Each structure stands twice: as C-alpha cells, then as structure tokens.
Structure 1
C-alpha cells in the first residue's frame, strides 16, 4: 500500500526540483562576468559563493550579512546587484514582509533603469524574488505568469545564473502540470546553461537530475535511466552528503513503480545521506520515503518507528503539512497492527492540522487511503464515510480547476468579442464614410447626373448587406459557443450546465422520475501517476465511447467531474436498472484501454437507483437523488470496487425517511431496511501497471 505524501502531486519529482532550486541558490546571483560592461567584483562573487552552503541553516543571519555587504558596494554597481540577487533567494526562506519590501524598494529605485539592458536585469532579479514567494505559497498560476518573462526578454548578455534559476523553476512547473513537452524543452535549456560559462560540477549534476525526473514523469523510462546515469557518473567522486542525497532521491523516483528493490536501496541511501547533512527537513523527507517502503511491504512496526521520528522532526520545524502527513501514515500503520482507535486518532488529528493550515491539495488521496484502510480492517460503514469525504475534496478541486478554466475561456471570449466589436465599428465607420461620399457625390453632380442617387443607394445597400452578413455570422458564432459551453471538450459528452437544463424535463413536481447512475473510474489517479495524464485522457475518452455504445440515443450521459460520469434514463424499473448496471460494468471493464505501448486495465464503481423507490413510491429532487446514489457508489468502492450497488427497495414512507436511511445505508442494508442489488464486473482485473 502506498502512502506517499499527497500535498504535492509527485513527491519524489517535486522534492527533487525543490532541492535543486534550494541547493543551487548561488544560481540566483546575477552573473555579471558574462557582460564586460557590468562586472561584479571577484571578491564579492567569492564571498557570495562562500555564503551559499549556509543559506539553509541560517537564512536570517545570512541576510543580515548580505545587507551589510550590499551597503559596502557602490550604488548602481554590478556587485551590489549581485548581492541583491542572492538576497532575493534568501528572503524566500525568511519570508519577512519588512525585509522583502526593503529589497523591492531598492530594486525599484535602482539607477539607470532607462537602460534597456539594466532594466531587463532588474526584471530578472524581481522575477526570481516573486517566483520564489509564489512557489512557496502554492500560487501556481501566478508563478507560471511570472516565469513568462522568459518568453519576453532577449537573454543575450543577461546574467546566466538568474536565467538558470528561472528555467529550473519553469521546468518544475511544467512537470507538475503535466505539460511534459514544455518541461523537456525547459530542462534542456537548464542543461545548456549548466554546461555553459558558469558550469560547476554541482550545477551539471543537478541539471541532469532534473531532466531525468522530467523524463520519468513523462514515462520516458529509458531516457530517464540514461540521464540519471550521466548525473551519477559526474557525481561519483563527490562525497558531499547533500549531493548524494539528491542523487539517491532521484534514483528512487525513477524506479519506484518498476523495481522496488532499487527504490528501497535508494531511499535507504537517501536517509543515510540526509542524516549526514543534519538538515531536519531532508531527514524528515527521507524518513517518509523509507517508511513508505515498509508500508508497501506491510512491515508495520518498522513503518511506525520511522514515521514517528518523521512526525517529531516535522513538529520541531513547525512544518504543519509534513506533520499532518506523517500522522496520517503513522495512523495507517497503527490501524494495521490492531491499534485501530489510536490509529484513527492520529489520522483525524492529521486531517485537523491540514485543515487549520488551509491544505486542500492531496486531501482527496489521503481520505481515499484512509477509506481503504478502514475497509481492510472491516469498518465498511466508516470506509464509506471516508470515501464520501474524498469525493467532497475531489469535487472542490474539480470546481477550482473548472473555475480557472472558465475564467481563462471567458478572457479569450472577451478578447474575441472585443475584436469583433472593433471590426463592426470599423465597418460601421466605413459605411458612414461611404454615406458621406455618396452625399457629396450626389450634391456635386445633382444637375449633371441624376443617376448618382441610384448609385449611392446601391452603394448603401451593398454596405448594409455586408453588415447584415456580419451580424448573421456573429449570431451563428454565439449559437455555436452556446452548444460548446454545454459539452465537455475532451469527451464530447454533456456537461453539468447542459444537465441542469435537461433534468427539468425529467422531473414531475420537482421530483425525479427515472433511473440515475453515478460512475467513478477505479484508481484513476494511479493511471495518471503510472502512465501520465495523456493516458488518463485516453481512458476518459474511451470510457465515454463505451458508455454511449451501451446506452440508447435518448439517455442522458454527463461528464460529472474529473473521472465521474452521470447517467439518467427514463425507465424507473429497478430490474432494468440492475441489468443496465451489469452491462455498464462489462462495457467499461470488458477490455483494457490501449494508450501508445501501454495496455491499461480499467474498471469502475457504480451507484444507481430507480425513482420512485419501491414499495411506497418515494422520489426525491434530483440533487438529493444524486447524493443518495453517490453513497451507493462509495459502498461499491468500500466493498472492493469493480461493482455496482443499486437501491431496489426501501422501508421509507417519504423523502425525509429515505434520506435518513441513505445516511446510514450500510447499516440499513444489514438491518433489512433497504434491499440492494450488487452486480459485479469482469473478474479478470488487475491494478494498472506500466
């Protein structure tokens, strides 16, 4: 069982990227040596290099030294700018508003800003500072916008160390967001800069480690292994524990889903190197990785020992996220050793810590893991509740992503609308000019050519027709946009907006009539993690096609969320719904999905119900009906996945009684207050592996 830290999408890869950035701190100094017109003092550069190893240990003291060193340099000099460049990085660790504003003010008042080259250098310095803060506060969109400076500037003659830092961050952002083509281009630019005039052994090693991590995330295993080998060969003679730590972490990342023996050896080597560094954050991360090895092997005692130490270090450093994650993993291990109450207390305390710190990213995966642990120790009803919490967080994340997408689309549509309005305005002005010219022509030639009036009329008519055609085209575009706004762009299925308009036709007096199915693809996150997001998209498209083929033309099929689908059919016959549930399981899981060279087994968990519910003919508003079917779907998950759980009968005389039963559906089922049908999917199913 994997219990990776889930507050970031890819623990190994992102920890590596963060480490590369943290340890390559000197890369943020402006490299004035690349520009003869602006040369920093060799003594200053040497002093900055000497401070570099201590940045992690005492950032406030280092910043005090840098402030003093900066004051000793001539105003507007390359040496002072080099010092400020390193201060920008240090303050990302200190994160004190007064120091931050002091640095911003110095950059804003820098002399010679009118020089385009100097202005660009200052922009790069400011970008490093702002990008660091955006990264630390998880402001992904803002970070990406800041890094857009690399598309706007001419890099010729600019400080290569700052460029290197920004390109490293850009490669990390694109990797995290699954844009691997852009990530690889950025990674190769990092490699080019690291092998250039500012080349050092450390930079060359880190550049290759980052590139190998990108290849691994992009499922280019052979390239990842090759690039990792280049990094290890370069670092072979270097005994520094910090470098050994990141080499080992990256090696474990590459092999984690392919060779557990290599991964375990790498995580042990990383832990030993981390202890040598004395850095608590590295030790805590290495402990978490090593504990993950024992959790996977179900060696609970070893996992408990390591996780307990990781939690202690996280609390010592006041790292709320790491502490919450550690308590979660500790609780999972305790539950499997029979200490269920204590384990659940640790997990719930971890959730509380994460909530108080405002954590949302990754909470869905943690609740899913908690639900699986509850299921394995026989607490099925509690597992359902954990799965429902997972769904709540997943919905929130989906809504946030959707909101961002909608805002971006809205901005594009607004720009398009403004462009069309300008075009129409230009055409209107052309029409008025035509009218004016026609009037002038009519006045001048009134006595000589009476036919000029007719010519002017024809001219006006032609202009009018042009405007009318434009308006018709705009109307057609608006209608097309309306249709597009009600369709999921990836699968072509209806989206929630279309559903909310269509469902009204299937209600009688605000009560739903028909059968509702809620479908969730099993272990979809693993598919994305193991095969990449492009493979996940292929699975969604293929499952959408299979659902459409299994249904009738007038059945409503909706992409409800990330990997969730909603189906509403007109039939309210529970027997028909049961047979359809079986057919949907077979349609989804009957054959694997093929993506490139991968064969991906896919199954789903389904909840369904037919309204009105027998025997009392009770129905619900569609929102409440979906909530109840949602519970049934998570019962299918809690009972092993690749199943469909459908409500056939309920001892409920009205909607309130039915909702009360649905809140404790598992217990009501065992007490005979509800009857469920539980068709199972195809038996030949294995977990997705590359």
Structure 2
C-alpha cells in the first residue's frame, strides 16, 4: 500500500488570364477593330477583380497585430514555474493595463491567467468558468487560432479542476480543430499540456501521450530556463503515464535523463518529485530492488528539505516506511513513519496523515499487536469512507482483511472480503458509467464539430455562388460594348461556377456519408444506429419483433499491451469484416465504441436468436487474428435482448433502455468468466412496476427472479 497511495496527479486571376489569351486570338482573327477595346476591357476587369479580392487578403491574421510585446514580456518575466503569476500585486498592475483595445492574444493570455488563479488559488470555480467562457467568445470573434486555442485550454483546465471532466474532454474536441494553425511555442506547450493531463486522468492513455509528445516537440529547440522547467514537467508526467502502463524501464530511463539535466542546468524545483517516482520505479524493477529505493527516498528528503517542499518530504518518509515494512524491518519503519506523522500533523495534511497512520497500524498488526492495529485501521477506514475516497477505501479494506487473517479472526475476515467484493463491483460500475459518459460527451462534441464543418462547407458554397454572381455582373458591365464577347465570358464563368458547385456538393455528400461511418472499421457508427433505431421505433407496431446484441471483445487491453496498438486495430478491423459477412442483409452491425459492437436485427421472426448468438461467439473464438505472423486469440462476451421486450412495447421500454439492459447482461457475462452471452427473454413482473428498480439494481432484480435470463456458453474455448 503506501508508495502507490501518495503518487498522484494573385492566384485568383489565373483563370481570367487564360480566358483572355484564348479570346484575344479570337478577336484578332474576326474583329481586328475591337482588339484594342477588348484588351482595355480585360484589363479593367482584372483590376476590378483584384480590387474585390484584395480585402480578403487584407483581413488575414498577422501575429504582430494580435499581441502587445511589452505586456507579453512582463508576463513572461513573472510566470516562473506555475500556471499563473505568483506576485499578486504585479499581476494586478498588468490586468489594470488590459482594455478592450488590447490585442486579442495578449488579452486572452492575461485574463486566462486570472481564470487559472481563480480556480487554483481562490477555488472560485463558477467565476473561473464564467471568465473562461467570455474569453472563448472574444477569441472566436477575432478568428485568430492562437488566441482561440489558448482560451479553450484555459476552459479545459478550469473545468477539470472543477471536477467537470466530461465537459473538459468535450472541450478538447473543440480545441483540436484549431491547434493545427497554431505556431506559438508557449501556446502549443500550454494547450497540449493541459489536454494531455486531462486525458491522462481519464485514462485515455494513447491520446494523452500524443498531446504530451506534441507539447514536448513545441519546446524541443529552446534551452531557456522556462523551457527547461516545462520539459521537466512534461517528462515527469510522461514517466508517470508510462508507470501506470507498467512500462517501468522506459519510465526509469526518462526519469534519470531528466534528473541529470535538472542537476546539470541548476533547475531544481522538480527534482523531489522525480526522485520520488524513481524510488517507486526501483521497487518495481528486479535489478534495482527495495534497497536502492531506500537510498533514492533518502536523497528525495535531502532535496525536498533544501527546497522547503514538505509534501515531498512527507511522501518520501512514508514510502521509506512502506519499503521497510516490505523488508520486515518494522522498527526502522516505525521510526521513519513517526517522523512523517509529525510532519502531516504539523502541516495539517489530513489525507496524508491517514495514510501514514494506517501504515503504522499495519506495523502493529505485523508485530502481533492485533487489537491496537486493527482498531486504528478501522478508525482510518471510516474517515476514508466518509471522505468518499472509494479507491483508497478499497485498498485499505484489503489490508484490513489480511490483518483479520493474521489475528485468526476468520469470520470478520470473510465479512470484510465480502464487503470488499461488493465495493469493487460498485467502483467498477461507477468507473464504467463514467467512461461511457465521457465517451458519449466526446462523441457529441465530435459530432457537433462535424456539423460545424458541414455548415462551413455549405457557407463556402453559398459564398462561392455569391462571388460567381458578382463576377458575372462585372463581366456583363465591363464587356457591354460587345454582345458576343460578353456572352462568351459569361459562358466560361458559368461553366466554372457549375464545376465548382458540383465539386463542393460532392464533397458535402462525402462528408455526410463519413459522418455515419467509423473511420477505422468502416462499420456504421453510433449516429447511424440512432437513426436506424429511431426509424424502427417510429414504424413499429404490435407485430414488430427485433433484437439487439451488445458485444465486447474480451481482454482487449491485454491485446494492446502484449501486441501493440497496431495489432489491436487489426483485431478490430478483422472482427468488423467477420461481422459484416455474418449478418443478414437487413441487419446492421455498428462499432459502438472502443472494443464494443452492436448488432441490430430489425426482424427476428422465424430466426433462432439463441443459435445466432452461439454462432456469433464461435465467430470470435474459433479462429485467432493473425498479425505479423503472430496468432492473437480472441473471444467476446455479449448481452442479448429483444426489441421490444416480450410482453411490452417500445413505449414501455425504449431502445436506449433496452441497450442499457443489454449492457448489464454483458457485465453479468464478464463476472461469470467471459466468452459467453446472456439473453433476456422477458420480465416476469409488470414492466411499469419494476423497470425503475431493475435499472437501479440489476443484480437484485435478477436474484428476485424478475428476469428470465438464458446463459449461452461459447461452443469454442480460448487458450491465452
């Protein structure tokens, strides 16, 4: 326990010139007297067009027009190692200089720091969110990507710090639309860093690493002190991410390189955190071991005391105590932990105090002082539970169960283990629901972004049509002296407009089609399923009988870890191809998200759903997926449900609620060992009476016999 518990958180004129050349030859051969007049008209037309086009280029963004160099320099000098200036008086003086006439990038930067100060230092979340939203509105009005990106990043940081992670992740989708146009090193670092940390916390490790590396690239060529601090910060978080993925050797290599640079360049403020992580990694790499961890933690204490970093002193002492406990050197452990406890109590670090006290109680148990140790453990567990720290609560409960076993209090051990099992199931469901909610929020944000892209494309079409109309009027006016020449110019302009409109319309149709497809597997996506099911619901009558199968690939994270994410993508693509060949022509197969798929069968009359499900399980398990001459065993777990449920209508239980039931059936299969399906044939009680209770506690409803569930084992077992 322990060490882990404290480690947290002029081209537009070209078509006309071509036209002029061809018309010039024509006029020389047939209308020699009109030649000079035609050339004069053509020149006037070019001048007129250039005048019309010039304002477009005049409005292009120039970074020099968007910043105030003097204020920017002051902000740079004040920033230091934090996210906002630490000198409140100096910062207030700068804010007093900001007005509506201040260039937008400087305005957003200065007031963005104020929003970060509100949320981090003053804990005024509502005011910080309101200010961040105003900055986004101002930045969007300027259409300057650098200012827009920084405003979105401020909002992401504020939302994440306000425990609104779903909205923060949705805002990352908005940010991603503007980042390709940003070139400012500081803004690129800040935006990618903020996005990476939020995605890291949400365990979207691949996306987080991409943003971390982009932030790292933004500062790679700069050796200033600020860039060194930023590089240390990034390397620390990348190493933590690698540690969470259990890539201990890679994390160790990065930590040691960062420590060496920090000491060489005399940029020391991250050294205690880096050493703390190094000590943890040494304990997880066999060639290093716990003795090396103790040496590193001692060095951590030296550096942290030198930098007056009491939290890192406390963390290092607690971790040293944990290592001594692991080695069975309980007296050494107690001495170190008592010093840590004194720091926690003096500094009023309540959470850390509980961790240290729990480790001391664990020593009591290991030395045979069972009553005292267990009593202290229970007291701390009660505090942890009341604080709502579910993961810490579960971790401590596991140690309490071990303590009961050591004291030979087996009845209490069994009760604790039973409670721990239920607690971990609740945590699993809560995290699954949170992950689904975040995925839905991200999907909705992406869909919104795609709709904006479509709208922009339509606006381009309209703008092009308006421009073409204006061009035609100018040509008619300037070439009115010759009816034949005017007609020819209009003809070419009209043909050009037609071709442009055709291309743009085809592009629009292509974008709309892509909006309904998953880019990796080319299966239908959630939006396509929603449209199909809404149509099915609208047309459904008393004779309608459909079914849905929700499928989840077993151990998909293990496939990614063992074979790589490219192999994981190949598994998804291969499974998608198999599913497309498996379903009937009227059925729809959908990539629901991640490693989940949905098969919707709109008409199951005359079809054996149980046999279809059994063959579906065989489809997954019978043949491994081959990737780079490696066979990857694959199996799946599924939840199957009729649509509508037998004895009810879609008004009683709509398709979204049925999909939730299918998800609960899938989870039931996961609990019973995977590579199987569960089919809900019906509900024994009136649906309007028990529906709310079923959704609130599916396991209880099943135990009461309200649910008619058939278990469908896979006909093929999988050896991993």
The TM-score with structure 1 as length reference comes to 0.59
Q: How far is 1:249 from its partner?
A: 0.8
- Trace 1:473-552 onto structure 2 (pairs within 5 A): 473-507=503-537, 508-509=540-541, 513-522=545-554, 537-552=569-584
Other-structure match for 1:403: 444
Larger-gyration structure (1/2): 2
**Number of residue equivalences:** 560
Q: 1:214 to 1:347 in 2, by over 3 A?
A: closer
Q: CA contact under 8 A between 1:167 and 1:189: conserved in structure 2?
A: no
Residue among 631, 634, 638 paired with 2:671: 638
Q: 1:233 to 1:482 in 2, by over 3 A?
A: closer
Q: How far is 1:633 from its partner?
A: 1.8
Other-structure match for 1:152: 183
Q: CA contact under 8 A between 1:264 and 1:293: conserved in structure 2?
A: yes
Secondary structure in 2 aligned to 1:520? strand
- Trace 1:131-210 onto structure 2 (pairs within 5 A): 134=154, 137=158, 138=160, 151-153=182-184, 169=193, 178=207, 180=209, 183-184=212-213, 186-187=215-216, 190=219, 192-194=221-223
1:478-520: CA deviations, max 9, x gaps? 3322222222233322223222221245442499721111223
Q: 1:580 to 1:651 in 2, by over 3 A?
A: same
1:39-92: CA deviations, max 9, x gaps? xxxxxxxxxxxxxxxxxxxxxxxxxxxxxxxxxxxxx999x9988645434774
Q: CA contact under 8 A between 2:634 and 2:718: conserved in structure 1?
A: no
1:446-502: CA deviations, max 9, x gaps? xxxxxx4xx655654554444444444443333322222222233322223222221
Residue among 246, 252, 265 paired with 2:274: 246
Q: How far is 1:192 from its partner?
A: 5.0
Q: CA contact under 8 A between 1:577 and 1:609: conserved in structure 2?
A: no
State which drifts further: 225-234 or 540-549: 225-234
Secondary structure in 2 aligned to 1:178? helix
1:200-221: CA deviations, max 9, x gaps? 9x99988876786788899998
Q: CA contact under 8 A between 1:131 and 1:147: conserved in structure 2?
A: no
- Trace 1:98-137 onto structure 2 (pairs within 5 A): 100-105=91-96, 129=113, 134=154, 137=158
Find the aligned partners of 1:566 and 1:329 in 2 and give their Cα distance: 47
Q: CA contact under 8 A between 1:325 and 1:350: conserved in structure 2?
A: no
Q: Once superposed, what is the RMSD of the aligned Cα atoms? A: 6.3
Q: 1:463 to 1:526 in 2, by over 3 A?
A: same
Find the aligned partners of 1:525 and 1:325 in 2 and give their Cα distance: 31
Structure 2 segments unaligned to the other structure (5+ residues): 10-67, 118-153, 161-167, 328-332, 366-373, 399-413
Secondary structure in 1 aligned to 2:482? helix
Q: CA contact under 8 A between 1:171 and 1:186: conserved in structure 2?
A: no
1:610-645: CA deviations, max 9, x gaps? 34555x577642122222222212222333444322
Secondary structure in 1 aligned to 2:680? strand
Other-structure match for 1:8: none
Find the aligned partners of 2:458 and 2:110 in 1 and give their Cα distance: 34
Q: 1:294 to 1:580 in 2, by over 3 A?
A: farther
1:134-154: CA deviations, max 9, x gaps? 48634686897999699535x
Other-structure match for 2:409: none
- Trace 1:31-430 onto structure 2 (pairs within 5 A): 85=76, 87-89=78-80, 92=83, 100-105=91-96, 129=113, 134=154, 137=158, 138=160, 151-153=182-184, 169=193, 178=207, 180=209, 183-184=212-213, 186-187=215-216, 190=219, 192-194=221-223, 227-228=254-255, 230-231=257-258, 243=271, 245-250=273-278, 252=280, 259=285, 272-276=298-302, 277=304, 279-282=309-312, 349-351=386-388, 377=418, 387-430=428-471
Q: 1:669 to 1:86 in 2, by over 3 A?
A: same
Q: How far is 1:568 from its partner?
A: 1.1
- Trace 1:588-607 onto structure 2 (pairs within 5 A): 588-590=620-622, 602-607=634-639
Other-structure match for 1:666: 699
Residue among 656, 660, 663 paired with 1:623: 656
Q: How far is 1:230 from its partner?
A: 4.3
Q: CA contact under 8 A between 2:550 and 2:666: conserved in structure 1?
A: yes
1:298-351: CA deviations, max 9, x gaps? xxxx9xx99xx99x959976799x999999999xxx9xx999999996676454
Other-structure match for 2:615: 583
Secondary structure in 2 aligned to 1:105? helix
Q: CA contact under 8 A between 2:78 and 2:85: conserved in structure 1?
A: no
Compare relative contact order (CA 8 Å, sep 6+) and give the higher one, 1 or 2.
1
In the alignment, structure 1 residue 676 sits paired with structure 2 residue 705: no
Find the aligned partners of 1:390 and 1:540 in 2 and give their Cα distance: 23
1:425-454: CA deviations, max 9, x gaps? 222222223333454324xxxxxxxxx4xx
The TM-score with structure 2 as length reference comes to 0.57
Q: CA contact under 8 A between 1:431 and 1:460: conserved in structure 2?
A: yes
Other-structure match for 1:555: 587
Q: CA contact under 8 A between 1:3 and 1:295: conserved in structure 2?
A: no
Q: How far is 1:246 from its partner?
A: 0.8
Q: CA contact under 8 A between 1:228 and 1:251: conserved in structure 2?
A: no
Q: 1:469 to 1:503 in 2, by over 3 A?
A: same
Find the aligned partners of 2:654 and 2:637 in 1 and give their Cα distance: 23
Find the aligned partners of 1:627 and 1:315 in 2 and give their Cα distance: 50
1:536-593: CA deviations, max 9, x gaps? 5555444433433433333212223344322211454799333333333343455666
